[in-house]
């Protein structure tokens, strides 16, 4: 909310130091988001005194003056030094006080004062005329100020032109602060200073017929509208607002429209009371009387609001209506057809309070937010509505001419009794953790407008003022006490609980180890959007094998982000493409995050964590290490590192067929299993799927289920003994058909090698059509034989090895390569 | 020539050869030739049987003496040569030690995770446990159980992403839904209080969503860390002390904290916490808009209504809660110029952390 300090100062003494005021507001809960300086059309103009006036040596009409501007121009030791200013005016004498625009000053029209020379004489500013400052038409000479004017004072501030407008963040619990009156009260409480009655000086004079003869009001449901008041002002002349009114309304952020509308806005800003002015003649029925009904809208009812929009209403919305038609959307905006125009002469003025909940939903349903709705949804104080409408009616009569009908139409079906609260002094001080004496608590509450009585036994009976709907419970009073006691005055402590142990859950431990392993494997963690495009899965060729249906957003930011992701891969591919487009040759990214899916009949979707990575391009080349392009086995290596770190048992990579994983390049993709349970997949993404995300293949990827990993991870390990006996190493190369897998050879060797086979390591895969034949490959293994209980002899090793070779050859039709 | 003289000559020539040996290999050749299995001096020992008996003692003594002398000379010469050779070896092995180390590709932690880890470590040290919740949440946990009913004005302050509710339920406000992307991690509070008996000391990091178009200072998806304490005798002073400790750990011992009263539906009293500006040290600069302070988190004492939703007696227990934006801390502490960089996956950015 915008608050003009100049306006506020009418009712409460606003401290001169704006910075200190802002700090104090911040520390008592009214956030200051900005300070605008406004009011005068110029800046950099200060009061000064002509101390010397001599004729310009080269001119017959110019004067060279020495002007004392107080602290605005000082020497090194801080003493004021007069400025030399060349001046063409003839109406002044040495000793006169004047308004001086210093170098850097900006005058109306954006005219900036610069240091200059006039016919050889230096001039450090300008002595100003009223017209030059936009303060009048007088251009006969410079302004001569009162002899008592102090020197070096900001001229705009001195003559009361300058204003500072604070942009305040009013929290939703403080509707009372959405007005100048409320802020005046707040300053009064903050600084313990008196606050004037903001309605003072405007007197209501009624004349003519009773208002009730012209207006009837019926409230269909008092829950929708607890209080509704109306007045009629006749003989009004709609026209421009006086300057002071336009200025205040503008400073508060509205546009000056005409005197009647400006007054309704003025009262809104001053008192926080939303008002609406109708053209009486457009509202009155055939009998010449306005029959106002406040009721729920009907399904399908339509109202054109002041902003020219046709609004489709629902029964949750409250209407101001006549028997013939709707004329206003309660608490939000008036109707277009009954608005005040230049021809209006009789005004029907409405001041009411409506259900905050209905107003809030109405605004949100229609996307229609106004200054009125903002106040209505936070609750308008129903107590002073009669005062508010009387003040507004009087002001209309005063500024627009006309007379106010006699009496107020005031329909107020249910009068709520003020709420009486109890505050336990010891509990309050105890919960705040500060030793606040009872007297101070009482003082704070009284300053805030509460009625406070000592009920004995350390209990206070407190009745909050009607303008504080947020003070409903004892705890709400604690907040007020703390706010004005000062949070800075509460001593800092740490909780002293006994049964407190900080620890990481198993899942967190697994996740932390996953992150560590992936970093150790050379991948960098990233985050991508959890939003996805509805096409993502189809583009990835994963749609046919995905689980469930996409989770759709009702109000996405754009179509490309209108569903929640079902896989981390699409956005990782986009990041891959981003890197490729920016010349990054080594892409190794991973992300751990949630994926989502839903199904018909389901409220909350399924959501669980996945770990995915992409590798594209090649490793960095180094002076002693050549670059190496990423391929399937890099991805597999990462998964194997994870398996090692988590102690996954019975790890298996099972080839994925094209129909099982259309998103992977056939022959370069595998399902990852541990102990028979699927934990995810690894492989090279199908080239067309990569291209669909504007990335260049090949891209190696993997996507693992974090919960499955956590479940398969071993919490404990067993140490295997390290044999003290030496091993015998043997190498063998098997020439086999391409279809014979490493896994098959390993299984055969391991079962044939028995307990003596300590380790098997693949060290070479070799293909040569001429030497090995078509469709053949040579797989070379380094084997180690070792006995657990003695040094293995060469003969024993040879025997075991030849048995192994024979079995492998038998099982896989392998030949041993010489 | 007497055998003894032969031995003496042999000794002299062996000593000369030893002295002349240029490297350990040559020296070893001398050793083999003189004292090896079939070396010249060894030959005398072997043929001792053919030496006349009366000379045997003298010859034996001479051979042994010569052998000792040769071996001593071999040893001495070997030490000299080995040391020289080692030095030569070392000299030739010298590298330009400013050459780059052998590349070991190690990945990096995402900045947001790194900060979240730091926060979690601080609170684990204070005895907190880490809790988590889902990102797609119901209206009940995100708003209602946090004392923010459907028509609460605070609803309008947070632009919420709503999710299609496939259960058939219809929302009171058009375009809204009972299912949504959580706008705050505070919902975890409600879940934890429902399932756990006090004392509760938890933090809950996680992704949250608000319907803001991405720009340098806004993201529709960002990260928060929520904290919740429920125990007997918890005071506002405890909240203040906890946050001050956190700020010093996170931002440095010299950083000050101030609390400003604020409003959150689920805490009462509520506050926002500022830390003294790291750029100007608190005197006021452009970064802190001249105030000397920058906002870092929201906090407050758990509202009794929130306790009521979880069946916790506010006359017995009290508590505090706080929530902070991780991206905000990234800006304050790491000077990230454009938040969108956090979601682009640019390797050149990620590898800086």
What is the value of ipTM here, to two decimals? 0.87
> Does residue B157 have a pLDDT over 60?
no
* Judgement on whether residues B83 and B116 belong to the same structural domain of the protein: no
- B78 and B125: one domain? no
Say if residue B213 is in the same domain as residue B152.
yes
Of the candidates B123, B153, B231, the beta carbon closest to that of A502 is on B123
- Chain-wide mean pLDDT for chain B? 91
Mean pLDDT to the nearest integer, A137-142: 77
- C-alpha–C-alpha distance, residues A172 and A166, integer Å: 18
**What residue of A is the nearest CA neighbor of B176?**
A554
Looking at residue A433, its pLDDT comes to: 96
Pick the CATH number of A206-411 from 3.50.40.10, 1.10.10.10, 3.40.50.261, 1.10.10.1100: 3.50.40.10
- CA-wise closest residue to B1 among B10, A230, A199: B10
- How confident is the model at residue B101, as a pLDDT? 87
- CATH value at residue B257: 3.30.930.10
Would you say residue B106 lies in a domain? no
Q: What backbone phi and psi angles, to 5 degrees, belong to B300?
A: 165, 180
Give dist(CA A265, CA A256) in Å, integer.
9
CA gap B312, B303 in Å, rounded: 11
Tens of pLDDT, residue by residue over A22-37, are: 999 999 999 998 888 7
The confidence score (pLDDT) of residue A63 equals 92
Q: What H or E segment, with its residue span, contains residue A86?
A: strand A83-87
Please report the residues numbered 258 through 287 in chain B whose beta carbons come closer than 8 angstroms to any beta carbon of chain A: 258-263, 268-272
Number of helical H runs and strand E runs in chain A = 22, 41
Residue-range domain boundaries for chain A: 2-39+163-191, 43-158, 206-411, 421-486, 506-712, 728-816
CB contact under 8 A, A625 and B102: yes
Residue A398 tokens, joined: 């005063």
Q: Do A588 and B347 touch (CB under 8 A)?
A: yes
The third-level CATH classification (topology) of the domain covering A43-158 is OB fold (Dihydrolipoamide Acetyltransferase, E2P) (2.40.50)
Element (H or E) spanning B329, and its range?
Answer: helix B326-334
**Second-level CATH architecture of A506-712:** 2-Layer Sandwich (3.30)
The range of the structural domain enclosing residue B19 comes to 3-93
- Contact: A620, B105; criterion CB under 8 Å: yes
Grouping H, G, I as helix, E, B as strand and the rest as coil, residue A757 is strand
The reply to whether A607 touches chain B by the CB within 8 Å rule is yes
B148, two tokens: 């923010």
- From the list A479, A488, A596, the residue facing B269 with the nearest CB is A479
Contacts of A722 (CB under 8 A, 6+ apart): none
The CATH-assigned architecture of domain A2-39+163-191 is 2-Layer Sandwich (3.30)
Contacts of A578 in chain B (CB under 8 A): 344-346
Eight-class DSSP state of A724:
S
What pLDDT, on the 0 to 100 scale, is given for residue A106? Answer: 85
Q: How many domains does chain B have?
A: 2
Helix (H) or strand (E) holding A186: helix A180-191
Option in A495, A502, A578 nearest B344 (CB): A578
Q: What is the pLDDT of residues A400-458, one digit of tens each?
A: 999 999 999 999 998 888 889 999 999 999 999 999 999 999 999 999 999 999 999 99
Query: For residue A217, what is the enclosing H or E element?
Result: strand A215-219
Q: Which residues of B touch A557 (CB under 8 A)?
A: 211, 213, 220
Res A40 pLDDT > 70: no
* Interface size between A and B, measured as CB pairs under 8 A: 300
Residue B221's H or E segment, with its range, is strand B221-231
Model pLDDT, residue B28: 92
Backbone angles phi, psi at A402, to 5 degrees: 100, 175
- For residue B151, is it within any domain? yes
Residues of B in Cβ contact (< 8 Å) with A434? 236-237
Residue A87, C-beta contacts closer than 8 angstroms, at least 6 positions apart? A62, A63, A64, A65, A126, A127, A142
**CATH 3.30.56.10 applies to domain A421-486:** yes
Question: Hey, are the CB atoms on B220 and A360 less than 8 Å from each other?
Answer: no
Surface of B (304-333) touching A: CB under 8 A: 304, 314, 318
Same domain, B217 and B333: yes
Say if residue B78 is in the same domain as residue B118.
no
Contacts with B206 from chain A: Cβ below 8 Å: none
Identify the pLDDT of residue B192: 95
B125 interfaces chain A, CB cutoff of 8 Å: yes
Residue A171 contacts B where some CB pair is shorter than 8 Å? yes
The residue written with tokens 């198993």 in the block is A506
CB of A421 closer than 8 Å to CB of A474? yes
Distance CA B324, CA B306 (A): 19
> How many other C-beta atoms are found inside a 10 Å radius of the C-beta of residue A132?
21
What are the distances in angstroms from CA A642 to CA A123, A265, B33? 79, 67, 61
Please provide the DSSP assignment of A168-181 as one string: EE--TT-GGGSSHH
Q: Are residues B176 and B45 in the same domain?
A: no
- Which of B97, B120, B153, B156 best tests the A interface by mutation, with the highest count of A CBs <10 A? B153
Q: Which among A382, A393, A257, A278 has a CA at the least distance from the CA of A325?
A: A278
Distance from CA of B308 to the nearest CA of A (A): 14
Number of Cβ within 10 Å of residue B151's Cβ equals: 21
Element (H, E) at A451: strand A451-456
Q: Are residues B45 and B167 in the same domain?
A: no
B105 in a structural domain? no
Q: Which of B51, B66, B93 is the last residue of a domain?
A: B93
CA nearest to A67, candidates A137, A122, A135: A122
Question: Residues B143, B212: one domain?
Answer: yes
Q: Cα dist. A223→A383, A416, A809 in Å?
A: 16, 12, 91
Cβ of B259 within 8 Å of Cβ of A584? The answer is no
* Interface touch B166/A31, C-beta < 8 Å: no
pLDDT band at A634 (very low <50, low <70, confident <90, very high): very high
CA distance A180 to A791: 97
Mean pLDDT calculated for residue range B211-217 = 91
Whether chain B has a CB inside 8 Å of the CB on A614: the answer is no
Is residue B118 located within the same domain as residue B61? no
Q: Do domains A2-39+163-191 and A43-158 have the same CATH topology?
A: no
* A526 vs B100, B110, B154: nearest CB: B110
Q: Which two tokens stand for residue A737?
A: 């058909």
Interchain contact, B135 vs A572, CB within 8 Å: no
Nearest residue on chain B to A619, alpha-carbon basis = B105
Q: Do B235 and A588 touch (CB under 8 A)?
A: no
The residue behind tokens 């045997």 is B56
Question: Mapped to the 3 state alphabet, what secondary structure does chain B carry?
Answer: CCHHHHHHHHHHHHHHHHHHCCCHHHHHHHHHHHHCCCCHHHHHHHHHHHCCHHHHHHHHHHHHHHHHHHHHHHHHHHHHHHHHHHHHHHHHHCCCCCCCCCCCCCCCCCHHHHHHHHHHHHHHHCCCEECCCCCEEEHHHHCHHHCCCCCCHHHHHCCCCEECCCCCCCCCCCCCCCEEECCCCCHHHHHHHHHCCCCEEEEEEEEEECCCCCECCECCEEEEEEEEEEECCCCHHHHHHHHHHHHHHHHCCCCCEEEEEEEECCEEEEEEEEEECCCCCCCCCCCCCCCCEEEEEEEEEECHHHHHHCCCCCCCCEEEEEEEEHHHHHHHHHCCCCCCHHHHCCHHHHCCC
Contact A627, A621 (CB under 8 A): yes
A7 by Cβ neighbours in 10 Å (0-12 / 13-18 / 19+) ranks as buried
DSSP code per residue over A412-444 = -S-PPPPPPEEEEHHHHHHHHTS---HHHHHHH
Q: Is B111 on the interface with A (CB under 8 A)?
A: no
User: What's the mean pLDDT in A551-562?
Assistant: 95
Contact B221 A530 (CB under 8 A): yes
Asked if A626 reaches chain B (Cβ–Cβ under 8 Å), the answer is no
- pLDDT higher than 90, residue B118: yes
Q: Which of B175, B177, B174, B160 is nearest to B211 (CA)?
A: B160
Minimal-distance CA residue of chain B relative to A477? B269
Residue of A nearest to B240 (CA): A492
A582 reaches B (C-beta below 8 A): yes
If you count them, how many residues does chain B have? 353
Same domain, B313 and B215: yes
pLDDT in tens, A566-597: 999 999 999 999 999 999 999 999 999 999 99
User: Given CB atoms, is A676 within the 8 Å cutoff of chain B?
Assistant: no
pLDDT of residue A137: 66
By the CB < 8 Å criterion, does A707 face chain B? Answer: no
Q: Hey, is A82 helix, strand or coil?
A: coil
d(CA A793, CA A650): 32
Query: A499 versus B194: which is more confidently predicted?
Result: B194
Would you state the pLDDT for residue A181?
97
Tell me what pLDDT residue B158 has.
61
Task: Tell me: do B26 and B137 sit in the same domain.
Answer: no
What's the rounded Cα separation, in Å, for the pair A246 and A254? 9
On whether the CB atoms of residues A143 and A98 are closer than 8 A, the answer is: yes
In the CATH scheme, what architecture does the domain A728-816 have? 2-Layer Sandwich (3.30)
Residues B69 and B203 reside in one and the same domain: no
Span B299-310, pLDDT tens digits: 999 999 999 999
Residue B162 in domain: yes
CA distance A769 to chain B (A): 36
Please tell me which of the candidates A171, A365, A431 has its beta carbon nearest to residue B262: A171
Residue B282 lies in a domain: yes
Interface touch B109/A515, C-beta < 8 Å: yes
| Nearest neighbour of B237 by CB, restricted to A491, A525, A622 | A491
Are the beta carbons of B239 and B228 closer than 8 angstroms? no
Helix, strand, coil tally for chain A in percent (to 5): 30, 30, 40
Task: Show which of B93, B126, B161 is a domain's final residue.
Answer: B93
Structural domain contains residue B296:
yes
The shortest C-alpha distance from B86 to chain A (Å) reads 26
Q: What is the C-alpha separation between A67 and A50, in angstroms, rounded? A: 5
Q: Would you call A473 an interface residue with chain B, using a CB distance cutoff of 8 Å?
A: yes
- How far apart (Å, rounded) are the C-alpha atoms in residues A736 and A741? 9
Q: How far apart are CA A317 and CA A328, in angstroms?
A: 11
Determine the 3-state secondary structure of A399 from DSSP: helix
Cα atoms in the 13 Å half-sphere on the side-chain side of A416: 14
Question: Alpha-carbon distance A644 to A60, whole Å?
Answer: 99
């Amino acid at each position: 909310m915008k608050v003009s300090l100049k306006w506020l100062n009418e009712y409460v003494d606003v401290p001169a130091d704006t910075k200190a005021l802002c700090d104090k507001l911040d520390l008592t809960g009214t956030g200051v988001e900005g300070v605008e300086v406004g009011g005068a059309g110029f800046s950099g103009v200060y009061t000064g005194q002509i101390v010397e006036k001599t004729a310009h040596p080269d001119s017959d009409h110019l004067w060279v003056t020495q002007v004392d501007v107080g602290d605005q121009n000082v020497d090194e030791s801080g003493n004021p030094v007069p400025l030399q200013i060349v001046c063409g005016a003839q109406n002044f004498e040495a000793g006169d006080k004047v308004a001086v625009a210093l170098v850097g000053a900006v005058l109306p029209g954006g005219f900036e004062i610069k240091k200059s020379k006039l016919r050889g004489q230096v001039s450090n500013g300008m002595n100003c005329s009223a017209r030059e400052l936009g303060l009048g038409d007088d251009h006969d000479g410079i302004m001569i100020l009162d002899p008592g004017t102090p020197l070096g004072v900001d001229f705009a501030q001195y003559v009361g032109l300058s204003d500072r407008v604070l942009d305040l963040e009013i929290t939703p619990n403080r509707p009372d602060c959405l007005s100048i009156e409320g802020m005046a009260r707040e300053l009064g409480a903050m600084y313990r200073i008196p606050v004037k009655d903001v309605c003072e000086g405007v007197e209501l004079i009624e004349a003519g017929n009773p208002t009730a003869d012209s207006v009837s009001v019926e409230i269909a449901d008092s829950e929708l509208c607890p209080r509704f008041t109306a007045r009629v002002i006749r003989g009004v002349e709609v026209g421009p607002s006086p300057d002071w009114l336009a200025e205040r309304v503008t400073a508060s952020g509205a546009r000056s429209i005409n005197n009647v509308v400006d007054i309704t806005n003025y009262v809104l800003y001053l008192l926080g009371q939303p008002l609406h002015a109708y053209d009486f003649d457009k509202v009155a029925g055939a009998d010449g009387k306005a029959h106002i009904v406040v009721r729920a809208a009907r399904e399908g009812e339509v109202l054109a609001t002041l902003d020219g929009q046709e609004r489709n209403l629902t029964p949750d919305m409250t209407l101001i209506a006549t028997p013939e038609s709707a004329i206003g959307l309660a608490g939000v905006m008036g109707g277009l057809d009954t608005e005040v125009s230049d021809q209006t002469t009789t005004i029907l003025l409405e001041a009411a309070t409506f259900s905050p909940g209905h107003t809030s939903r109405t605004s949100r349903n229609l996307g229609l937010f106004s200054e009125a709705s903002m106040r209505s949804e936070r609750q308008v104080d129903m107590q002073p509505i009669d005062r508010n409408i009387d003040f507004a009616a009087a002001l209309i009569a005063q500024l627009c001419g006309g007379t106010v009908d006699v009496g107020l139409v005031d329909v107020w079906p249910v009068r709520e009794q003020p709420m009486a609260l109890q505050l336990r002094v010891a509990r309050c001080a105890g919960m705040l953790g500060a030793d606040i004496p009872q007297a101070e608590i009482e003082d704070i509450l009284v300053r805030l407008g509460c009625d406070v009585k000592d009920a004995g036994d350390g209990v206070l009976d407190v009745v909050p003022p009607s303008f504080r709907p947020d003070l409903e419970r004892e705890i709400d009073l604690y907040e007020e006490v703390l706010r004005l006691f000062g949070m800075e005055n509460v001593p800092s402590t740490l909780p002293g609980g006994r049964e407190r142990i900080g620890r990481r859950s198993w899942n967190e431990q697994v996740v932390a180890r996953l992150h560590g392993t992936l970093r150790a494997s050379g991948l960098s963690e990233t985050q991508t959007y959890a939003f996805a495009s509805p096409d993502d899965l189809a583009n990835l060729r994963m749609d046919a094998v995905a689980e469930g249906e996409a989770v759709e957003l009702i109000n996405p930011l754009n179509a490309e982000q209108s569903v929640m992701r079902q896989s981390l891969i699409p956005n990782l591919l986009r990041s891959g493409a981003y890197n490729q487009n920016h010349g990054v040759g080594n892409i190794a990214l991973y992300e751990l995050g949630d994926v989502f899916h839903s199904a018909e009949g389901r409220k909350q979707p399924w959501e669980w964590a996945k770990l995915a990575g992409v590798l594209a391009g090649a490793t960095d080349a180094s002076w002693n290490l050549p670059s190496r392009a990423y391929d399937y086995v890099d991805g597999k290596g990462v998964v194997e590192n994870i398996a090692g770190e988590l102690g996954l048992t019975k790890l298996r990579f099972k080839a994925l067929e094209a129909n099982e994983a259309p998103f992977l390049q056939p022959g370069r993709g595998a399902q990852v299993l541990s102990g028979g349970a699927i934990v995810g997949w690894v492989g090279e993404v199908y080239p067309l799927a990569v291209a669909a995300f504007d990335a260049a293949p090949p891209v190696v990827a993997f996507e693992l289920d974090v919960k499955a990993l956590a479940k398969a991870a071993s919490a404990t390990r067993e140490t295997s003994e390290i044999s003290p006996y030496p091993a015998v190493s043997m190498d063998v190369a098997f020439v086999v058909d391409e279809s014979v897998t490493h896994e098959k050879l390993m299984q055969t060797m391991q079962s044939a090698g028995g307990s003596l086979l300590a380790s098997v390591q693949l060290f070479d895969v070799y293909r040569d059509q001429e030497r090995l034949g078509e469709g053949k490959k040579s797989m070379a293994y380094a084997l180690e034989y070792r006995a657990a209980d003695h040094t293995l002899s060469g003969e024993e090793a040879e025997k075991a090895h030849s048995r192994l070779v024979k079995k492998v050859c038998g099982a896989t039709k392998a030949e041993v390569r010489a | 020539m007497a055998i003894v003289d032969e031995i003496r000559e042999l000794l002299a020539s062996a000593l000369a050869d030893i002295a002349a040996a240029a490297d350990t290999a040559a020296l070893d050749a001398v050793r083999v030739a003189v004292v090896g299995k079939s070396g010249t001096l060894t030959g005398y020992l072997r043929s001792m049987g053919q030496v006349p008996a009366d000379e045997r003692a003298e010859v034996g003594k001479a051979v042994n003496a010569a052998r000792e002398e040769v071996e001593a000379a071999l040893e001495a010469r070997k030490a000299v040569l080995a040391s020289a050779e080692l030095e030569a070896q070392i000299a030739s092995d010298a590298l330009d030690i400013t050459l780059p180390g052998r590349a070991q590709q190690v990945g990096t932690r995402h900045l947001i995770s790194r900060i979240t880890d730091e926060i979690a470590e601080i609170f684990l040290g204070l005895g907190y446990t880490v809790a988590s919740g889902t990102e797609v949440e119901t209206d009940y946990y995100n708003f209602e159980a946090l004392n923010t009913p459907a028509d609460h004005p605070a609803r309008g302050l947070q632009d919420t992403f709503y999710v299609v509710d496939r259960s058939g339920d219809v929302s009171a406000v058009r375009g809204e839904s009972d299912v949504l992307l959580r706008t705050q991690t505070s919902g975890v509070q409600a879940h934890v209080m429902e399932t756990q008996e006090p004392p509760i000391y938890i933090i809950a990091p996680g992704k949250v969503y608000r319907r803001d178009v991405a720009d340098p200072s806004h993201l529709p998806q960002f990260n928060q860390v929520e904290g919740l304490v429920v125990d007997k005798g918890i005071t506002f002073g405890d909240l203040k002390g906890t946050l001050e400790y956190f700020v010093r750990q996170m931002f440095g011992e010299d950083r000050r904290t101030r609390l400003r009263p604020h409003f959150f539906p689920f805490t009462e009293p509520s506050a926002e916490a500022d830390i003294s500006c790291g750029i100007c040290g608190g005197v006021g600069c452009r970064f802190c808009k001249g105030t000397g302070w920058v906002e870092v988190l929201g906090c407050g004492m758990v509202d009794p209504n929130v306790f009521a939703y979880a069946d916790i007696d506010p006359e017995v227990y009290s508590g505090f809660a706080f929530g902070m934006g991780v991206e905000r801390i990234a800006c304050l502490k790491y000077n990230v110029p454009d938040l969108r960089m956090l979601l682009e996956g640019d390797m050149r950015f990620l590898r800086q952390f």
